[in-house]
Chains A and B, each alone.
Chain A
């Protein structure tokens, strides 16, 4: 393949990766920004979304109906689980930063093993709700991947609006900036925390539902996206939504280009080096705010 089409393919791949990554990392970033917790189980919420999408598709029958049902059921179910985790685990350890890392690692293993026991070790496919191949002169490309990019973009936009334009968003930002002051002004901190954790989990689950027709549901599928999301969140600056989006595109596109032209392993190396470089130059990340 000559250089032009090759680059075009790289950009396409990179853009799709970037949008999905943005959706995944946004939840992680929100949870960290507001609650100051590193949620290691975030990838498992994504995996649960994918597995539930398979279950819905299996139960409903037609791909379109299955997808619609999954888009409703999976985020709600995973959100419910997240609420329970918030109520019975995180609140009990007072959202203590170190303890929550250990607790969410525990959740990661419990969710993974539960899925392995109940759903099994297979990677199971789900038919995409819309399927078409965009035929370029040099190669064909899955139309559904473009749909995924668009849907992720919409969800990211909706989350952005929620954070910047609504009362809940205001509470969230207030809790992020200064928790005690926010509480003094009557921000219901516990409820905000619960809702943020719920929102983060729902975003991850939605990403899982979107991705499963491309990738298949598998009980270990949460690990890689988790790692990439962490990379994105660290580069962007922990807690900064704008940073997360910028970093998702930087990482997604560089991943696409480097892996198409050189090798996917090199792309991961580049992403990791990027993290190291950002941490050396700007320890708070590109858009990270200074913390008192």
Chain B
């Protein structure tokens, strides 16, 4: 075949450059209608969101919840009379991209705060950059990394409890009701290690034993081979999985163990965003799940829970009102809602105005002084306690049983059940 030297035609280049410029312009104009509408300079919240990558399902619901919370807050007058403007930036659920996104939000978009990161490996990669840039960074991540003291004074997790607290709260129920010989299956990165370490610790305290710890790489898509390594005398299989392979995981678990299954206790992370009626999940009937916030409406919830569900657009089964097949990440996304309310409270209490070191100091000190968040529309998952030394909140946990393809709450822990001695004190770090 012959080789033709190909010239980039000038017209084509101009057209593509033109459309690029057009797209950029349209993007920036669409970003800021609120500010103009309300006449006051907005509080700009940078939203580091997992729009793509393995966290995309969570990311989409985090975005919807954030939009719903911002709409409600703005309708009620915003934060200290200023409207909230969210600047969202995708990090691809990628720890390499995370710090760049934080930097872009802080330097280019000049946001007041950065917020919203979920996946622990991205949080751990991004938080140091936020600390260097000295911008308050609110994560909604569940990992123990914030409370462990490994992050920095700018990093907070006020809207969702951490894994250590969750497993500590539920351990006595698990060992008491299900069995004392446990095999753990968890993802092979920070979030999974928190489960491994603190659940093993809890097991020791309760005289139980973790027989085997199976770490699974985050992008794994086939699991049968791991089940072969579950010891035969396992009484409880403890699973917590995330990412696109979760449904396969549960199906293959059913195929592998069949009727001779041990008791199964899972974290709802294994099925967030997944319809409980999906083919292959019948197997889970009679097994137990941790839920932060029950996906299915139990019927006894106070009015603000129903109000919250309505506002984030979720039906009684925890799926989108617009599409019942689009299931939410209900046990995690409330963290966005509650975090935004904590930000509002901190800004109003501290008199924060501008992203200056002085105002940041006032805001951070006000946050660290907070103790309680009462249950209500601002904290629909339930009341929380906040420990300013470790920048972490504590709340109640639920254990639900799968019955007829629905999750029914069988046990709710108290806030105290999930408390542990603080291992760090961020307030001693310089600002």
Name B216-241 residues within 8 Å CB distance of A. Answer: 216-217, 219-222, 224-229, 232
Q: Are A116 and B248 in contact (CB under 8 A)?
A: no
Q: Are A123 and B247 in contact (CB under 8 A)?
A: yes
Q: Which residues of B contact A127 (CB under 8 A)?
A: 279
CA distance A125 to B279 in the complex (A): 7
Q: Which residues of A contact B358 (CB under 8 A)?
A: none
Q: Are B279 and A93 in contact (CB under 8 A)?
A: no
Q: Are B52 and A116 in contact (CB under 8 A)?
A: yes
Identify the stretch in A166-174, A239-247, A259-267 within 8 Å (CB) of chain B at 4 or more residues. Answer: A259-267
Q: What is the CB-to-nearest-CB distance from A16 to chain B, in angstroms, rounded to a whole number?
A: 9
Q: Are B54 and A220 in contact (CB under 8 A)?
A: yes
A214 within 8 A of B: yes
Q: Which residues of A contact B53 (CB under 8 A)?
A: 220
Q: Are B56 and A139 in contact (CB under 8 A)?
A: no
Interface-central residue, B188, B256, B257, B273, by most chain A CB under 10 Å: B256
* Option from A94, A139, A265 in Cβ contact (under 8 Å) with B3: A94
A133 within 8 A of B: yes
CA distance A154 to B51 in the complex (A): 39
Q: Which residues of B contact A6 (CB under 8 A)?
A: 228
Q: Mark A1-23, 1 if CB is under 8 A from B, else 0.
A: 10000100110010001000000
B4 within 8 A of A: yes
Select from chain A the residue with minimum beta-carbon distance to B54.
A220
B9 within 8 A of A: no
Q: What is the CB-to-nearest-CB distance from B275 to chain A, in angstroms, rounded to a whole number?
A: 8
Q: Mark B275-298, 1 if CB is under 8 A from A, else 0.
A: 000111000000000000000000
Interface-central residue, A142, A221, A224, by most chain B CB under 10 Å: A142
Q: What is the CB-to-nearest-CB distance from B58 to chain A, in angstroms, rounded to a whole number?
A: 9
Q: Which residues of A contact B224 (CB under 8 A)?
A: 9, 13, 141-142
CA distance A1 to B260 in the complex (A): 14
B57 within 8 A of A: yes
Q: How many of chain A's residues have a CB under 8 angstroms from any CB in B?
A: 42
CA distance A122 to B60 in the complex (A): 10
B176 within 8 A of A: no
Q: Are A260 and B225 in contact (CB under 8 A)?
A: yes
Q: A140-B256, A220-B54, A264-B217 are in contact. Are A123 and B246 (CB under 8 A)?
A: yes
State the majority secondary structure of interface residues on A.
Answer: mixed
B421 within 8 A of A: no
Select from chain A the residue with minimum beta-carbon distance to B232.
A1
Q: Are A121 and B52 in contact (CB under 8 A)?
A: yes
B300 within 8 A of A: no
CA distance A260 to B230 in the complex (A): 11
Q: Mark A243-260, 1 if CB is under 8 A from B, else 0.
A: 000000000000010011
Interface-central residue, B220, B224, B226, B227, by most chain A CB under 10 Å: B224
Q: Are B244 and A9 in contact (CB under 8 A)?
A: no
Q: Which residues of B contact A116 (CB under 8 A)?
A: 52, 56
Q: Are B220 and A264 in contact (CB under 8 A)?
A: yes
B255 within 8 A of A: yes
Q: What is the CB-to-nearest-CB distance from A118 to chain B, in angstroms, rounded to a whole number?
A: 14
Q: Are B1 and A94 in contact (CB under 8 A)?
A: yes
B245 within 8 A of A: yes
Q: What is the CB-to-nearest-CB distance from B185 to chain A, in angstroms, rounded to a whole number?
A: 13
* Option from A120, A215, A259 in Cβ contact (under 8 Å) with B60: A120
Q: Which residues of A contact B1 (CB under 8 A)?
A: 94-95, 179, 189
CA distance A256 to B224 in the complex (A): 10
CA distance A215 to B248 in the complex (A): 6
A218 within 8 A of B: yes
* Option from A123, A131, A139, A265 in Cβ contact (under 8 Å) with B256: A139
Q: Are A215 and B225 in contact (CB under 8 A)?
A: no
B387 within 8 A of A: no
CA distance A120 to B222 in the complex (A): 22
Name A203-257 residues within 8 Å CB distance of B. Answer: 213-216, 218, 220-221, 224, 256
Q: Which residues of A contact B255 (CB under 8 A)?
A: 133, 140-142
Q: Are B225 and A256 in contact (CB under 8 A)?
A: yes
Q: What is the CB-to-nearest-CB distance from B61 to chain A, in angstroms, rounded to a whole number?
A: 10
Select from chain B the residue with minimum beta-carbon distance to A265.
B217
Interface-central residue, B59, B222, B280, by most chain A CB under 10 Å: B222
CA distance A142 to B257 in the complex (A): 11
B258 within 8 A of A: yes
Q: A94-B1, A142-B252, A216-B247 are in contact. Are A122 and B225 (CB under 8 A)?
A: no
Q: Are A140 and B258 in contact (CB under 8 A)?
A: yes
CA distance A6 to B229 in the complex (A): 9
Select from chain B the residue with minimum beta-carbon distance to A8.
B228
CA distance A6 to B244 in the complex (A): 27
* Option from B60, B248, B273, B274 in Cβ contact (under 8 Å) with A214: B248
Q: What is the CB-to-nearest-CB distance from A228 to chain B, in angstroms, rounded to a whole number?
A: 11
Q: A94-B1, A116-B56 are in contact. Are A260 and B248 (CB under 8 A)?
A: no
Select from chain B the residue with minimum beta-carbon distance to A94.
B1
A96 within 8 A of B: yes
Q: Mark B389-421, 1 if CB is under 8 A from A, else 0.
A: 000000000000000000000000000000000
CA distance A95 to B3 in the complex (A): 10
Q: What is the CB-to-nearest-CB distance from A14 to chain B, in angstroms, rounded to a whole number?
A: 10
CA distance A140 to B257 in the complex (A): 6
* Option from A122, A221, A260 in Cβ contact (under 8 Å) with B228: A260
B2 within 8 A of A: yes
CA distance A116 to B52 in the complex (A): 8
Q: Mark B164-205, 1 if CB is under 8 A from A, else 0.
A: 000000000000000000000000100000000000000000
Q: Could you jot down 24 A-B contacts, CB within 8 Å?
A: A1-B229, A96-B3, A116-B52, A120-B56, A121-B52, A121-B57, A121-B59, A122-B57, A123-B57, A123-B247, A135-B258, A140-B257, A140-B258, A179-B1, A215-B222, A215-B248, A216-B244, A218-B244, A220-B244, A224-B219, A224-B221, A260-B229, A264-B216, A265-B188
3 closest cross-chain pairs (CB), A and B: A121-B56, A123-B244, A127-B279
Q: A142-B251, A179-B1, A220-B53 are in contact. List 6 more A-B contacts (CB 8 A).
A: A1-B228, A63-B279, A95-B1, A125-B247, A127-B279, A139-B228
